[in-house]
Amino acid sequence: MQIYLPIAEVSINAFLLLGLGGIVGFLSGMFGVGGGFLITPLLLFVGVPPGVAVATGANQVVASSISGVLVQMKRKGVDFRMGLVLLVGGFAGSFVGVKVFAWMTALGQIDLFVQLSYVLFLGLIGAMMFAESTRALLRARKAGAAAPIRRSHAHTWVHRLPLQMKFRTSGLYISVLPPAAIGAGVGFLSAIMGVGGGFILVPAMIYLLGMPTRVVVGTSLFQIIFVTGFTTIMHAINSQTVDMMLAFLLIMGGVIGAQIGARLSTRLKAEQLRIMLAILVLTVSFKIALDLLLQPAELFTVTPGLLP
Protein backbone atom coordinates (compact mmCIF):
# COMPACT_ATOMS: atom_id res chain seq x y z
CA MET A 1 0.00 0.00 0.00
CA GLN A 2 1.67 3.18 -1.21
CA ILE A 3 1.17 6.29 0.87
CA TYR A 4 1.84 9.85 -0.26
CA LEU A 5 3.77 11.88 2.31
CA PRO A 6 2.53 15.48 2.18
CA ILE A 7 5.75 17.23 3.24
CA ALA A 8 8.37 14.88 1.78
CA GLU A 9 6.28 14.85 -1.45
CA VAL A 10 7.18 11.25 -2.22
CA SER A 11 5.06 8.13 -2.27
CA ILE A 12 6.43 5.23 -0.19
CA ASN A 13 5.01 1.88 0.85
CA ALA A 14 3.29 2.29 4.23
CA PHE A 15 4.32 -1.19 5.43
CA LEU A 16 7.95 -0.44 4.59
CA LEU A 17 7.77 2.63 6.85
CA LEU A 18 6.01 0.67 9.62
CA GLY A 19 8.74 -1.95 9.26
CA LEU A 20 11.53 0.63 9.50
CA GLY A 21 9.90 2.09 12.60
CA GLY A 22 9.57 -1.43 13.96
CA ILE A 23 13.25 -2.30 13.46
CA VAL A 24 14.38 0.92 15.08
CA GLY A 25 11.85 0.50 17.91
CA PHE A 26 13.05 -3.07 18.43
CA LEU A 27 16.66 -1.91 18.79
CA SER A 28 15.69 1.00 21.02
CA GLY A 29 13.71 -1.33 23.28
CA MET A 30 16.58 -3.79 23.35
CA PHE A 31 19.49 -1.40 23.91
CA GLY A 32 17.76 1.56 25.54
CA VAL A 33 18.78 4.07 22.85
CA GLY A 34 16.47 6.38 20.91
CA GLY A 35 17.46 4.88 17.58
CA GLY A 36 17.74 8.22 15.82
CA PHE A 37 21.19 7.32 14.49
CA LEU A 38 19.53 4.52 12.52
CA ILE A 39 16.28 6.12 11.43
CA THR A 40 17.85 9.07 9.58
CA PRO A 41 20.16 6.98 7.32
CA LEU A 42 17.34 4.45 6.74
CA LEU A 43 14.92 7.19 5.67
CA LEU A 44 17.53 8.63 3.31
CA PHE A 45 17.97 5.15 1.88
CA VAL A 46 14.27 4.73 1.03
CA GLY A 47 14.18 8.10 -0.73
CA VAL A 48 13.06 10.66 1.85
CA PRO A 49 14.79 14.03 1.27
CA PRO A 50 17.60 14.71 3.83
CA GLY A 51 15.92 17.72 5.46
CA VAL A 52 12.69 15.79 6.06
CA ALA A 53 14.57 12.71 7.28
CA VAL A 54 16.48 14.65 9.94
CA ALA A 55 13.49 16.69 11.20
CA THR A 56 11.03 13.79 11.20
CA GLY A 57 13.62 11.49 12.80
CA ALA A 58 13.80 13.94 15.72
CA ASN A 59 10.00 13.81 16.06
CA GLN A 60 10.06 10.02 16.16
CA VAL A 61 12.70 10.02 18.90
CA VAL A 62 10.37 12.17 21.06
CA ALA A 63 7.77 9.39 21.06
CA SER A 64 10.16 6.55 21.91
CA SER A 65 11.83 8.63 24.64
CA ILE A 66 8.50 9.49 26.30
CA SER A 67 7.58 5.83 26.28
CA GLY A 68 10.91 4.96 27.90
CA VAL A 69 10.98 7.76 30.49
CA LEU A 70 7.57 6.77 31.88
CA VAL A 71 8.94 3.32 32.69
CA GLN A 72 12.05 4.87 34.30
CA MET A 73 10.00 7.30 36.41
CA LYS A 74 8.26 4.36 38.07
CA ARG A 75 11.71 3.06 39.07
CA LYS A 76 12.77 6.52 40.33
CA GLY A 77 15.46 6.46 37.68
CA VAL A 78 15.19 10.11 36.59
CA ASP A 79 17.30 12.90 38.14
CA PHE A 80 15.11 15.86 37.23
CA ARG A 81 17.53 18.49 38.52
CA MET A 82 20.39 17.08 36.45
CA GLY A 83 17.99 16.76 33.53
CA LEU A 84 17.13 20.46 33.73
CA VAL A 85 20.78 21.52 33.79
CA LEU A 86 21.47 19.30 30.75
CA LEU A 87 18.41 20.83 29.10
CA VAL A 88 19.53 24.45 29.42
CA GLY A 89 22.71 23.51 27.60
CA GLY A 90 20.70 21.35 25.19
CA PHE A 91 18.43 24.18 24.05
CA ALA A 92 21.39 26.43 23.35
CA GLY A 93 23.12 23.67 21.39
CA SER A 94 20.02 22.80 19.41
CA PHE A 95 19.38 26.46 18.55
CA VAL A 96 22.90 26.82 17.16
CA GLY A 97 22.62 23.43 15.42
CA VAL A 98 19.46 24.35 13.51
CA LYS A 99 21.11 27.59 12.33
CA VAL A 100 24.22 25.71 11.20
CA PHE A 101 21.96 23.18 9.45
CA ALA A 102 20.23 25.97 7.49
CA TRP A 103 23.58 27.58 6.68
CA MET A 104 25.11 24.32 5.45
CA THR A 105 21.99 23.62 3.36
CA ALA A 106 22.43 26.98 1.65
CA LEU A 107 26.09 26.17 0.98
CA GLY A 108 25.14 22.79 -0.50
CA GLN A 109 27.35 20.93 1.98
CA ILE A 110 24.65 19.61 4.32
CA ASP A 111 24.94 16.01 3.07
CA LEU A 112 28.68 16.02 3.64
CA PHE A 113 28.31 17.64 7.05
CA VAL A 114 25.68 15.14 8.20
CA GLN A 115 27.70 12.21 6.84
CA LEU A 116 30.93 13.39 8.46
CA SER A 117 29.17 13.86 11.81
CA TYR A 118 27.82 10.32 11.57
CA VAL A 119 31.16 8.76 10.66
CA LEU A 120 33.01 10.67 13.36
CA PHE A 121 30.63 10.23 16.29
CA LEU A 122 29.30 6.77 15.53
CA GLY A 123 32.80 5.50 14.77
CA LEU A 124 34.21 6.95 17.98
CA ILE A 125 31.42 5.83 20.29
CA GLY A 126 31.10 2.45 18.57
CA ALA A 127 34.82 1.74 18.91
CA MET A 128 34.87 2.79 22.57
CA MET A 129 31.79 0.72 23.38
CA PHE A 130 33.16 -2.28 21.50
CA ALA A 131 36.49 -2.15 23.36
CA GLU A 132 34.82 -1.71 26.73
CA SER A 133 32.25 -4.48 26.30
CA THR A 134 34.80 -6.93 24.89
CA ARG A 135 36.95 -6.39 27.99
CA ALA A 136 33.90 -6.91 30.21
CA LEU A 137 32.95 -10.07 28.34
CA LEU A 138 36.48 -11.49 28.59
CA ARG A 139 36.58 -10.68 32.29
CA ALA A 140 33.30 -12.50 32.82
CA ARG A 141 34.72 -15.54 30.99
CA LYS A 142 37.76 -15.69 33.29
CA ALA A 143 36.14 -17.41 36.22
CA GLY A 144 37.34 -16.28 39.60
CA ALA A 145 38.93 -13.07 38.36
CA ALA A 146 37.89 -10.18 40.56
CA ALA A 147 35.89 -7.43 38.94
CA PRO A 148 37.76 -4.11 39.12
CA ILE A 149 36.50 -1.79 41.81
CA ARG A 150 35.21 1.47 40.43
CA ARG A 151 34.58 4.11 43.06
CA SER A 152 31.33 5.97 42.54
CA HIS A 153 32.92 9.20 43.72
CA ALA A 154 36.17 9.34 41.88
CA HIS A 155 37.30 12.97 42.11
CA THR A 156 38.48 14.39 38.80
CA TRP A 157 38.97 17.86 37.33
CA VAL A 158 35.19 17.98 36.89
CA HIS A 159 34.76 18.39 40.63
CA ARG A 160 36.98 21.49 40.91
CA LEU A 161 34.90 23.83 38.71
CA PRO A 162 32.79 26.73 40.06
CA LEU A 163 28.96 26.89 40.37
CA GLN A 164 28.64 23.71 42.40
CA MET A 165 25.18 22.27 42.84
CA LYS A 166 23.70 19.33 44.73
CA PHE A 167 22.06 16.57 42.67
CA ARG A 168 20.33 14.45 45.30
CA THR A 169 18.97 11.63 43.10
CA SER A 170 22.40 11.07 41.61
CA GLY A 171 24.14 11.63 44.94
CA LEU A 172 26.49 14.20 43.41
CA TYR A 173 27.77 17.64 44.40
CA ILE A 174 29.40 19.04 41.26
CA SER A 175 29.62 22.15 39.11
CA VAL A 176 26.77 22.78 36.64
CA LEU A 177 29.23 23.63 33.86
CA PRO A 178 30.18 20.11 32.67
CA PRO A 179 26.56 18.85 32.44
CA ALA A 180 25.50 22.06 30.66
CA ALA A 181 28.37 21.68 28.17
CA ILE A 182 27.54 18.02 27.54
CA GLY A 183 23.87 19.00 27.06
CA ALA A 184 24.88 21.68 24.53
CA GLY A 185 26.96 19.22 22.53
CA VAL A 186 24.11 16.73 22.43
CA GLY A 187 21.59 19.43 21.46
CA PHE A 188 23.82 20.48 18.59
CA LEU A 189 24.14 16.91 17.30
CA SER A 190 20.41 16.39 17.67
CA ALA A 191 19.72 19.27 15.32
CA ILE A 192 22.35 18.22 12.77
CA MET A 193 21.92 14.45 12.79
CA GLY A 194 18.27 14.07 13.82
CA VAL A 195 19.37 11.96 16.76
CA GLY A 196 18.53 12.13 20.46
CA GLY A 197 22.17 11.75 21.41
CA GLY A 198 21.62 8.98 23.97
CA PHE A 199 24.61 7.12 22.61
CA ILE A 200 26.83 10.05 23.63
CA LEU A 201 24.91 11.18 26.70
CA VAL A 202 24.91 7.82 28.49
CA PRO A 203 28.69 7.24 28.44
CA ALA A 204 29.33 10.93 29.20
CA MET A 205 27.12 10.78 32.30
CA ILE A 206 28.77 7.62 33.58
CA TYR A 207 32.41 8.36 32.83
CA LEU A 208 32.61 12.18 32.92
CA LEU A 209 30.05 13.10 35.55
CA GLY A 210 30.30 9.89 37.59
CA MET A 211 26.52 9.43 37.83
CA PRO A 212 25.23 6.08 39.10
CA THR A 213 24.10 3.79 36.24
CA ARG A 214 20.67 3.46 37.89
CA VAL A 215 19.66 7.03 36.97
CA VAL A 216 21.61 7.43 33.72
CA VAL A 217 19.14 5.96 31.22
CA GLY A 218 16.09 7.73 32.68
CA THR A 219 17.81 11.11 32.95
CA SER A 220 19.22 10.86 29.44
CA LEU A 221 15.77 10.00 28.07
CA PHE A 222 14.25 12.92 30.00
CA GLN A 223 16.70 15.37 28.46
CA ILE A 224 16.31 13.79 24.98
CA ILE A 225 12.51 14.32 25.00
CA PHE A 226 12.92 18.05 25.36
CA VAL A 227 15.92 18.52 23.10
CA THR A 228 14.40 16.53 20.23
CA GLY A 229 11.04 18.21 20.88
CA PHE A 230 12.70 21.62 20.63
CA THR A 231 14.59 20.51 17.51
CA THR A 232 11.33 19.33 15.93
CA ILE A 233 9.67 22.70 16.51
CA MET A 234 12.73 24.63 15.29
CA HIS A 235 12.80 22.58 12.07
CA ALA A 236 9.02 22.98 11.67
CA ILE A 237 9.38 26.76 11.90
CA ASN A 238 12.66 27.26 10.02
CA SER A 239 12.33 24.82 7.15
CA GLN A 240 8.85 23.16 7.31
CA THR A 241 10.46 19.74 7.01
CA VAL A 242 8.58 17.76 9.69
CA ASP A 243 6.32 15.23 7.97
CA MET A 244 3.58 14.28 10.40
CA MET A 245 2.29 11.44 8.24
CA LEU A 246 5.76 9.91 8.05
CA ALA A 247 6.34 10.40 11.78
CA PHE A 248 2.99 8.75 12.58
CA LEU A 249 3.85 5.58 10.62
CA LEU A 250 7.35 5.38 12.11
CA ILE A 251 6.00 5.84 15.63
CA MET A 252 3.31 3.18 15.18
CA GLY A 253 5.91 0.68 13.98
CA GLY A 254 8.32 1.84 16.66
CA VAL A 255 6.08 1.33 19.70
CA ILE A 256 5.34 -2.27 18.66
CA GLY A 257 9.01 -3.00 17.93
CA ALA A 258 10.07 -1.46 21.26
CA GLN A 259 7.90 -3.89 23.22
CA ILE A 260 9.34 -6.92 21.46
CA GLY A 261 12.87 -5.57 21.87
CA ALA A 262 12.43 -4.82 25.58
CA ARG A 263 11.20 -8.38 26.20
CA LEU A 264 14.05 -9.95 24.29
CA SER A 265 16.64 -7.85 26.09
CA THR A 266 15.81 -9.48 29.46
CA ARG A 267 17.09 -12.80 28.09
CA LEU A 268 20.52 -11.44 27.14
CA LYS A 269 23.48 -10.35 29.27
CA ALA A 270 24.30 -6.63 29.53
CA GLU A 271 27.76 -7.14 27.99
CA GLN A 272 26.32 -9.10 25.07
CA LEU A 273 23.79 -6.35 24.44
CA ARG A 274 26.48 -3.67 24.51
CA ILE A 275 28.75 -5.55 22.13
CA MET A 276 25.87 -6.06 19.68
CA LEU A 277 24.96 -2.38 19.85
CA ALA A 278 28.63 -1.49 19.32
CA ILE A 279 28.78 -3.68 16.19
CA LEU A 280 25.58 -2.10 14.88
CA VAL A 281 26.88 1.44 15.47
CA LEU A 282 30.21 0.60 13.81
CA THR A 283 28.46 -0.93 10.80
CA VAL A 284 26.36 2.18 10.20
CA SER A 285 29.44 4.38 10.55
CA PHE A 286 31.47 2.17 8.19
CA LYS A 287 28.71 2.18 5.56
CA ILE A 288 28.50 5.99 5.59
CA ALA A 289 32.29 6.30 5.47
CA LEU A 290 32.37 4.09 2.36
CA ASP A 291 29.83 6.37 0.66
CA LEU A 292 32.18 9.29 1.23
CA LEU A 293 35.32 7.52 0.06
CA LEU A 294 34.14 5.58 -2.99
CA GLN A 295 33.40 7.34 -6.24
CA PRO A 296 29.63 7.82 -6.47
CA ALA A 297 27.86 6.43 -9.55
CA GLU A 298 26.33 9.84 -10.27
CA LEU A 299 28.56 12.85 -9.62
CA PHE A 300 25.78 15.38 -10.12
CA THR A 301 22.90 16.16 -7.77
CA VAL A 302 19.85 18.28 -8.45
CA THR A 303 18.35 20.41 -5.69
CA PRO A 304 15.07 22.15 -6.47
CA GLY A 305 15.07 25.80 -5.49
CA LEU A 306 12.20 28.18 -4.98
CA LEU A 307 9.54 28.80 -7.55
CA PRO A 308 10.71 31.65 -9.80
Partner 1 sequence: MIRALILLLALTAPAFANEALVSGLSQNRVQITANFDGSEILIYGAVKRDAPAPDGPPLEVIVTVEGPSTGLIIRRKERVAGIWLNRSSVTVDAAPSFYAVATTDKLDKILSGTEDLRHHITIPQVIRAVGISDEAENAPDFIEALQRIRLDESRYRIAERSVQLADETLFRTDIALPANLTEGNYKVRLFILRGGVVLDTQERLIAVRKAGLERFLYNLAHQQPLLYGVLSLVMAAVAGWAASAAFRFVR
Residues that bind partner 1 (CB under 8 A): 1-4, 6-7, 9-11, 59-60, 62-68, 70-71, 108-109, 111-112, 229, 232-237, 240, 242, 244-245, 247-248, 251-252, 255, 258-259, 262, 292-296, 298-308
Instruction: For strands 164-167 and 10-13, give the pairing.
Output: unpaired
Instruction: Rank residues 3 and 177 by Cβ distance to partner 1 and give the closer one.
Output: 3
Instruction: Rank residues 81 and 235 by Cβ distance to partner 1 and give the closer one.
Output: 235
Instruction: Rank residues 201 and 247 by Cβ distance to partner 1 and give the closer one.
Output: 247
Least distance between partner 1 and beta carbon 92 (Å): 19
Least distance between partner 1 and beta carbon 176 (Å): 27
Instruction: Rank residues 133 and 232 by Cβ distance to partner 1 and give the closer one.
Output: 232
What 4-9 contacts at long range (C-beta under 8 Å, 24+ apart), as own/partner pairs, is: 5/48, 5/52, 5/243, 5/245, 5/246, 6/243, 6/244, 6/245, 7/52, 7/240, 7/241, 7/242, 7/243, 7/244, 7/245, 7/246, 8/48, 8/49, 8/52, 8/56, 8/243, 8/246
- Residues 88, 165: contact at Cβ < 8 Å? no
Say how far apart CA 65 and CA 306 lie, in whole Å.
35
Residues in the chain: 308
Collapsing DSSP states into helix, strand and coil, what is residue 166?
A: strand
Least distance between partner 1 and beta carbon 40 (Å): 16
Least distance between partner 1 and beta carbon 298 (Å): 7
Angle, vertex CA 127, rays to CA 150 and CA 83, nearest 5: 60
- Residues 275, 132: contact at Cβ < 8 Å? no
What does the buried/exposed string (b/e) look like for 156-169 if buried means 16 or more CB atoms within 10 Å of the residue's CB?
Answer: eebbeeeeeeebeb
- Residues 282, 121: contact at Cβ < 8 Å? no
Instruction: Rank residues 147 and 294 by Cβ distance to partner 1 and give the closer one.
Output: 294
Instruction: Rank residues 122 and 278 by Cβ distance to partner 1 and give the closer one.
Output: 122
Least distance between partner 1 and beta carbon 146 (Å): 37
Least distance between partner 1 and beta carbon 34 (Å): 11
Least distance between partner 1 and beta carbon 77 (Å): 14
Instruction: Rank residues 48 and 278 by Cβ distance to partner 1 and give the closer one.
Output: 48
Sequence-ordered alpha helix ranges (H) in 32-79: 36-45, 50-74
